[in-house]
Amino acid sequence: MAWRDGRHSWKRLLLYMSAIIMGVAALVAIRSFGTNLRLAVEDQAKILLGADLAIRGDTPFGEKAEDLFHELGGEQARQTSFASMALFPRQQATRLVQVRAVSGRFPFYGQLKTDPPEAAAEYQEGRTALVDQTLMLQFGVAVGDDVKLGAVTFKIIGKLLEIPGESAIASDLAPRIFIPERFVPETGLVQVGSRVHYTVYFKFKGQFAVDATVKSMQDRLHALSLRADTVEERKADFRRELQNLNRFLGLVGFIAVVLGGIGIASSVHLYVRQRIGTIAVLRCVGATPRQSFAIYLLQAGVMGLMGALAGALVGLLAQRALPYVLGRFVPVEMAQSVSPSAVVEGLLVGLVAALLFALIPLAPVRKISPLRTLRADVEDGSLIRRDPLALVLMSVVVLWLLGFSLWYSSTWQIGLGFFAGLVVVFGLLSLVAKSIMWAVRRFFPASWRYEWRQGLANLYRPHNQTLVLVLAVGLGTFFIVTLYLTQATLLEEVANVGSENRPNLVLFDIQNDQLPGVTALVKRENLDILQEVPVVTMRIQSVNGVPAEELQKRRSEHRGNWALRREYRSTYRERLSDAEKIVEGELQSRAGKTIRVSLEERIARELGVKVGDRLTFDVQGIPIATTVGSIRSVEWRTFQPNFFVLFPAGVLEDAPQFHVIVTRTDSRQQSARLQRDLIRQFPNVSAIDLSLVLDTIDSVLDRLSFVIRFMALFSILTGILVMITAVISGRYQRTRECILLRTLGASRRQIRRILLIEYFFMGLFSVVTGLVLSLAASWVLAELAFDTTFAMRPLIPLLVCIVVILLTIVVGLSNSRGILDHPPLEVLRSEQ
Amino acid sequence: MKEKLLQVDRLTKTYDGGERSLTVLRDVCFEIEEASCCAIVGPSGSGKTTLLGLCAGLDRPTSGKVMLGGHDLGPLSEERLAALRSQSIGFVFQTFQLIPTLTALENVMVPCELRGESDVRSRAASLLEQVGLEDRLEHYPTQLSGGEQQRVALARAFVNRPQILFADEPTGNLDAETAQTVEQLLFALNVEHGTTLVLVTHNLELAHRTERIISLRGGRIVADHPVSMKEVSPS
């Protein structure tokens, strides 16, 4: 019976159920991609590290460390990495880069991918270098050109295409240059205060118990301030990150499922209303309420399954696009294979969503009275609201959404937050949509022309699809505009940092003897020295008399250990900078009998210390006992050096130190000129230009938002599908009205105008709803999450509005094609 | 002598059903005078509704001619037909056919507004008052009973002062008491506005309230008599 009843409307039902396609596709694509990535990582786990074991330190390895490495044995390779300015002499271009100086056959697993390929093996043979391809592209550098690092000029023999275990996004953040390690001393780049990382990589023969060995050496490593990285740890880290990414993208994809579900509920609701007559007849001829309900449930189930199957197919196709979208974030090579578990999961989620959302409007089928065959005016207005089963089903849907949110989130807080966000977004979209409809009905001037009144009145006609359309289109608009505005706000924030007379160029690693020269160079460009800050590196030796190592052992890994372990770059001065404010205690200007340091509030919290506590610092071998004199807040988002620990004057003046100079250049050209002159005279001095920071953030945000946009695309496509479905399911009623108006003498032009007005306002209201919400969300994100000022950029949102309104009109009118061709006689036919 | 408002000449309508075609009207001829009142009766499938549709310019005949108010409907475009309906024709349907998104008053105003007339509110309100719905002006169709909806439809039919009114089973969906009220209103308004009324009905009693009854069977006119004649049999 289900088949016989549905055979004439299966196309329509299938269309309704198609709203689930994109949601299922998103889940299948993401899950399948995740499975492939996990398999790839399992398969190429050693490539992630490039070795069996890596041991890292921030200072050159001493004798004890070398003894330890000797004990470990195996094949070893070394890497010294640090940030430095690179000069490309032919292009006269400079840029801060990440230098990787390597000796030995690193990487042991995987290969550096270069162009030409042989360069990867040859670069260690002479004064030669491999340079990140993005950097070469940026400055128009070719293989065969030179790059100068410090005092040494290297010949570029290859373009660096891929580094095993590192994602391509890393080259956007800090472009890398590989050189042979033996030239590091000659470059003169490693000096006092230089932040250098030293790594030794190991490759062991046979079955070497790396993890057990590392565990047994943990105390010695701690004592030497060394950290060990094993393949298993790297794999676990990566798995965790991968799972988080997968879950996040899964949640974004899930929004498409929910939106599709709402579309299904709305379409099935209309479908049921149109079938009321049939159902009443079935009831008359003996069908039980359960039977009539089962007929339509079966139809919805079969069509839902077909929709989910189509979604799984689309998902497998979309999965092929994911490596291009996420490629820069993925550090391994991946195969493309179908993951059966992902397909089954997608199918199940899709089918359950389709059935659950269809069940709500189907529940009242049980209540349709056979009396309707005799009396058309049997009341059935608010069947859903009065049906306890429908209410139970609604609760099940809510619980299912909550369950899914929790299941797909890494922590229950995120899951609950996502669920709350979902409820708030959909709730607010519905609220704004309903308010607009109410306002139109309440305040629309009765004196307006008939076409306007009719067009607008259609928006709140009984069984209208306005709400679902506003949800579908509004959500798409919300996604696009929120992403854009948030990105704009973040960029504006960075750009603002360098506005007006604020600093936009920081020169660091200036040695004591270089200070006069660098100062003179800056002044020669007629630039002001806005700040000149001495920096002294140090570590925490003890807190209130307890050694730092002891404390590290006591504390869990998550609390405060990084604060105990890290190298502090501190400064000394008599007063606060304009980015600092004392929140507790008093600032000591000059040291007295006791040295009272000022701690930044977050680091004080991490260390678990308060005013009056004792801290002993190891300043390059010399212990300095201090007391916490004050806690201060620091506005970190300023383009100037800020410090966790501030010493009073009169303590560190004679300690080994380097300097930072902060200035403001008038143009990018001036900044580039200064950096070029600087690198020629003082090759070890590095510069960070604000425009470089801006460009880097811009490109990273661009790539991130591209990924989110790609996932949001599934929701936007679902929105369009729901929009088409809603327009088509409302066509029956619209056709009747158009025919009636034609019968009463309306011209085609009048009817077209009514439809145009209806769809224009439908698009407008949807866009306004999405826009209002996205403005609110972007504002909240800016003010609360990013603690910055919301930046309004009206152009793109305006363009989005125009496109969405046009899209709504095009979908609406193209669906109304043919309505005008119906002969008016159908009004009379329906009488019979 | 009264003018002929509607002239139907050798009207034939055949529906092409692929291999088999179905002729529902054959060579139908009749004339209706201005301000007269006529009923078309016949069993189901006799062609009543098809005939009404052709007379009102809602459909096109296979052959034959319909002249309405001196206009030959045949050569007129759909747009001209719509304009003619807007100017000269009123309709009352069995299922009321009100626009659900408009109030009773707005529904009545629609035909005039489609003609671009302004200031029709008072005329529409007065018509609604005439049909006894002065306190239902701002109600939506769903808030009205069947009888009330049909009274709104009556007001809408007369608001543009049509020359001819086509009513298709106007009381078919109403109970006896309500039907009586609607009938009385229909005829009273018809007399008051001097409109020509063409009524399609099964209801013999209703048909006998007109001046003339045209009986159809199998697509042909089998009888066409003034109402005083008793031999009319509708089914």
Secondary structure of B108-175 as H, E, C letters:
HHHHHHHCCCCCCHHHHHHHHHHCCCHHHCCCCHHHCCHHHHHHHHHHHHHHCCCCEEEEECCCCCCC
Min CA distance, B59 vs chain A (Å)? 6
B44/A832 CB distance under 8 A: yes
Instruction: Please check whether residue A742 is in contact with residue A750, taking contact to mean a CB–CB distance below 8 angstroms.
Output: no
A740 at B interface, C-beta within 8 A: yes
A748/B79 CB distance under 8 A: yes
**Whether residue B230 has pLDDT greater than 60:** no
Q: Is A611 exposed, middle or buried (0-12, 13-18, 19+ CB in 10 A)?
A: middle
A454/B86 CB distance under 8 A: no
DSSP state of A663: E
Q: Which of A739, A762, A828, A829 to mutate to test the interface with B (most CBs of B within 10 A)?
A: A828
Of B79, B142, B160, the CB nearest to A747: B79
Question: From CA B235, how far away is CA B226, in angstroms rounded?
Answer: 18
Of B52, B142, B145, the CB nearest to A462: B142
Q: Is A391 exposed, middle or buried (0-12, 13-18, 19+ CB in 10 A)?
A: middle
Residue of A nearest to B202 (CA): A832
A450/B109 CB distance under 8 A: yes
DSSP string, A461-529: STT--HHHHHHHHHHHHHHHHHHHHHHHHHHHHHHHHTSTTS--EEEEEEEGGGHHHHHHHHHHTT--E
Q: Which two three-digit tokens encode residue A792?
A: 């309004």
Tell me what percent of the residues of chain B surpass a pLDDT of 70: 94
B59/A381 CB distance under 8 A: no
* Residues 6+ away with beta carbon under 8 Å from A476: A712, A715, A716, A719, A720, A770, A804
Min CA distance, B8 vs chain A (Å)? 18
Return the closest-CA partner of residue B46 out of B66, B63, B26: B26
Of A737, A746, A824, the CB nearest to B114: A746
Name residues 300-339 of chain A within 8 A of B (Cβ). Answer: none
ipTM over 0.90? The verdict is no
Nearest 5 degrees, angle CA B83-CA B88-CA B91? Answer: 100
Helices A466-497 & A748-780 angle (0-180, nearest 10): 40
Q: Which residues of chain A have pLDDT under 50?
A: 377-378, 381-382, 558, 831-832
Of A747, A823, A830, the CB nearest to B83: A747
Question: From CA A401, how far away is CA A484, in angstroms rounded?
Answer: 27
Contacts of B93 in chain A (CB under 8 A): 827-828, 831
B101/A740 CB distance under 8 A: no
* Residues 6+ away with beta carbon under 8 Å from A205: A74
B114/A462 CB distance under 8 A: no
Min CA distance, A377 vs chain B (Å)? 8
Q: Is B26 helix (H, G, I), strand (E, B) or coil?
A: strand
Residue of A nearest to B52 (CA): A828
Contacts of B100 in chain A (CB under 8 A): 461-462
* Residues 6+ away with beta carbon under 8 Å from A665: A504, A505, A525, A527, A671, A674, A689
Per CB distance under 8 Å, which residues of B are interface residues toward A?
A: 44, 49, 52-53, 58-59, 78-79, 82-87, 89, 91, 93-95, 97, 99-102, 106, 109-111, 113-115, 142, 145-146, 156, 160, 168-169, 172-173
Beta strands across the sheet bearing B20-33:
B20-33, B4-17, B63-68, B71-72
Q: Which of B25, B50, B51, B97 to mutate to test the interface with A (most CBs of A within 10 A)?
A: B97
Min CA distance, B1 vs chain A (Å)? 31
* A-B Cβ pairs (cutoff 8 Å, strict): 93
Measured from the Cβ of residue A88, the count of other Cβ atoms closer than 10 Å reads: 21
Predicted pLDDT at A672? 83
B86/A745 CB distance under 8 A: yes
Predicted pLDDT at A391? 81
Q: Is B180 exposed, middle or buried (0-12, 13-18, 19+ CB in 10 A)?
A: middle
Q: Where are the beta strands (DSSP E) in A205-364?
A: 227-230
Contacts of A748 in chain B (CB under 8 A): 78-79, 82
pLDDT category at B235 given cuts 50, 70, 90 is very low
Q: Which two three-digit tokens encode residue A257?
A: 């499922």
B97/A742 CB distance under 8 A: no
B89/A831 CB distance under 8 A: no
A56 at B interface, C-beta within 8 A: no
Predicted pLDDT at A42? 78
The CA-to-CA distance between both ends of chain A, in Å, stands at 26
Q: Which two three-digit tokens encode residue B185?
A: 């209103």
How many residues would you count in chain B?
235
Instruction: Please check whether residue B38 is in contact with residue B213, taking contact to mean a CB–CB distance below 8 angstroms.
Output: yes
How many residues would you count in chain A?
832
Q: Which of B112, B114, B148, B161 to mutate to test the interface with A (most CBs of A within 10 A)?
A: B114
DSSP state of B94: T
Of A460, A740, A831, the CB nearest to B49: A831
A828/B93 CB distance under 8 A: yes
Min CA distance, B170 vs chain A (Å)? 10
B100/A461 CB distance under 8 A: yes
Q: Which of B49, B76, B101, B169 to mutate to test the interface with A (most CBs of A within 10 A)?
A: B101
Measured from the Cβ of residue A167, the count of other Cβ atoms closer than 10 Å reads: 17
B59/A825 CB distance under 8 A: yes
Residue of B nearest to A446 (CA): B106
Question: From CA A75, how far away is CA A745, in angstroms rounded?
Answer: 92
